[in-house]
């Protein structure tokens, strides 16, 4: 890291809400102590290598618009090392304690798997040095099993066993690399694990194969002593028409069906939730109810567009609702908030990377603090407790304990209870109450 790749930008500091400085945090103070630990340890922000350092602004209608000065060198491997230097300089200056990557993000793919692994080993050695020098850690690693044409019909769900075997070898190496770099999680995103048409698909067999693949990963992780958390990242569609990990609920059903539910939690992405027809908070609540909430891919989508736009999320209301659910669940544990978000196509300056992440980090930090205040005052908790109070005693408690059946309840309804009296859900009051925190 001898060369400075962002020479005009110093480390981003917290200056408070009154600051008029663009390159400063208004709400995210990494060192602020909350409940006995720094805010940075509550939020565990992570930078997505693929968007921030491999994204070029390309879209289906045109090639990339972003040209970075560090993308020069005598060969792909030397370029990858300089790119990583630039990335770690950015991680340090934005004060993000973690980063995340796919194997092919950090190291160029070779003509053979042997050459790809050799390239990866060289870059991992470089990453180890940079992690040691900066204190930046790896939140999670994963393997890119969707970009190369060999995976056009899936990886673990591919109809060709040869592709399955190749994917297994690639994930084995990615797990080795993640362990070597001290990664705290490993993510499975099945971008091509689905189908385009059922005319050529044996759905049952493909799901069986996917489960077998995941069991193999669990077995190998145990064999090498990898202690990190395995995460599933649901998405309903795109790039395939239908992906098997459609949403958290279908993911839970899949994992339980195949006996994998004790080995996996969920990495929930905001934009994927909305593509599935859910809110971000809904997906968090479903995972938390099953005790399978693992980590967050921090972004948002454009509700006017029907695809995964991966934008930086600055919607404090949406994030506050999400933070309420996360804090009620006890936090993310080994997970964190990974900025799986990319600059807009016309945002071509290196400085734009800082503005985007500052906005995101401030929004999540503010939402965290608002949610903490809401929970401390307990007004919503009290309302919900009172709304369900009839289940805390008498026959309501017996219902929850399964100590009573239809016959007993029929007798109660006919001879004692009579007609229920409707009670208002008071949604409008609660929405106004939420706004009093957001705008108070």
242 is catalytic: no
The one catalytic residue in 5, 27, 42, 105 is 105
Cα 402 to its chain centre, rounded Å, is 37
From the candidates 5, 42, 102, 278, give the one annotated as an active-site residue.
Answer: 102
Q: Would you mind telling me the total number of residues written for the chain in this entry?
A: 440
Pair 77, 119: CB distance under 8 Å: yes
Q: Please, are residues 21 and 74 in contact by the beta-carbon 8 Å criterion?
A: no
Is position 102 annotated as part of the catalytic site? yes
154 conformational bin, left if phi > 0, alpha if psi -120 to 50, beta if neither:
left
If you search the block for the tokens 């936090």, which residue do you land on? Answer: 331
What are the Cα distances from residue 13, in Å, to 31, 361, 421?
10, 12, 56
Task: Answer yes or no: are the C-beta atoms of 262 and 214 closer than 8 Å.
Answer: no
Per-residue CA distances from 384 to 14, 284, 317, 388, 426 (Å): 36, 18, 20, 6, 11
Q: Catalogue the active-site residues.
A: 102, 105
């Amino acid at each position: 890291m001898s060369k400075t790749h962002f020479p005009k930008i110093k480390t981003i500091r917290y200056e408070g809400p009154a600051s008029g400085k663009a390159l400063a945090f208004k709400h995210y103070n990494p060192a602020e102590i909350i409940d006995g630990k720094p805010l940075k340890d509550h939020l565990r922000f992570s930078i997505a290598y693929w968007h921030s350092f491999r994204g070029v602004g390309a879209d289906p209608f045109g090639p990339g618009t972003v040209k970075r000065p560090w993308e020069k060198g005598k060969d792909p491997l030397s370029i990858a090392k300089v790119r990583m230097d630039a990335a770690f300089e950015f991680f340090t200056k934005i004060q993000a304690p973690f980063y995340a990557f796919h194997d092919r993000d950090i190291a160029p793919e070779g003509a053979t798997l042997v050459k790809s692994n050799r390239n990866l080993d060289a870059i991992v050695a470089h990453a180890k040095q940079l992690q040691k020098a900066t204190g930046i850690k790896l939140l999670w690693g994963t393997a890119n099993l969707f970009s190369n044409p060999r995976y056009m019909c899936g990886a673990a769900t591919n109809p060709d066993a040869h592709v399955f075997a190749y994917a297994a070898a690639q994930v084995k190496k990615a797990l080795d690399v993640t362990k070597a770099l001290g990664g705290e999680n490993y993510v499975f995103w099945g971008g091509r694990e689905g189908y385009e048409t059922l005319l050529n698909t044996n759905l049952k067999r493909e799901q069986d194969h996917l489960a077998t693949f995941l069991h193999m990963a669990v077995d190998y992780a145990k064999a090498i002593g990898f202690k990190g958390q395995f995460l599933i990242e649901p998405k309903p569609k795109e790039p395939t028409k239908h992906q098997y990990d459609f949403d958290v609920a279908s993911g839970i059903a899949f994992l339980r069906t195949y006996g994998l539910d004790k080995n996996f939690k969920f990495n929930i992405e905001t934009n994927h939730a909305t593509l599935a027809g859910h809110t971000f908070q809904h997906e968090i609540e479903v995972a938390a109810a099953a005790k399978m909430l693992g980590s967050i891919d921090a972004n948002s989508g454009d509700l006017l567009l029907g695809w995964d736009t991966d934008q930086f999320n600055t919607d404090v209301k949406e994030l506050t609702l999400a933070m309420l659910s996360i804090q009620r669940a006890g936090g993310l544990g080994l997970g964190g908030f990974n900025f799986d978000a990319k600059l807009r196509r016309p945002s071509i300056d290196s400085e734009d990377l800082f503005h985007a992440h500052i906005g995101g980090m401030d929004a999540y930090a503010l939402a965290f603090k608002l949610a903490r205040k809401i929970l401390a005052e307990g007004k919503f908790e009290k309302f919900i407790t009172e709304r369900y109070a009839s289940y805390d005693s008498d026959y309501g408690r017996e219902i929850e304990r399964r100590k009573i059946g239809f016959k007993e309840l029929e007798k109660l309804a006919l001879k004692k209870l009579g007609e229920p009296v409707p009670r208002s859900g008071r949604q409008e009051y609660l929405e106004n109450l939420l706004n009093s925190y957001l705008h108070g």
